[in-house]
Amino acid sequence: MALKEIGKKIQIAREEKGITQLELAKMLGITQAALSNYELGKRRVYFHQIEVIAEYLEKPISFFLDEEVIFTEDENTITDEMLNSLTCKIKQLNRQDFLELDQFIDFLLWRKDNE
């Protein structure tokens, strides 16, 4: 995904949250100019920075990244980005949904062992 696309998504999420560049920059511990450059696609945003931005803006990491960034060509490889994306989604579940997900994962592991 191009830097400009990620930057635009940062801007959209920030505006949806109703905060200014200066407010978000202070939360992130960066200058307003640095945040502006992220939003304009003039400055690279690293994954760990996107994680922090996603947390402050209450968006899943997947909102900022498309699937091409998250998934690798090897379908059997689970990347850190995939795990981080899943973790972000799991944190949004309520307790009952989490328990159901846990049972489903147990089923998938059982099925894999019995194939």
Mean pLDDT of the chain: 84
At 69-90, the pLDDT tens digits run 443 345 566 766 677 778 878 8
Through-space distance between the first and last CA atoms of the chain, rounded to whole angstroms: 37
Please give the average per-residue pLDDT across 16-33, as a whole number. Answer: 93
Does residue 68 register a pLDDT over 50?
A: no
- Structural domain count of the chain: 1
Predicted local distance difference test score (pLDDT) of residue 32: 94
Which domain, by its residues, includes 83?
A: 3-113
- Rounded to whole angstroms, the Cα distance separating 64 from 48 reads 12
Please give the average per-residue pLDDT across 38-46, as a whole number. Answer: 89
The amino acid at residue 26 is K
Please give the average per-residue pLDDT across 94-113, as a whole number. Answer: 91
Domain with residue 78: its CATH number is 1.10.260.40
Predicted local distance difference test score (pLDDT) of residue 71: 39
Residue 114 tokens read as 């019995």
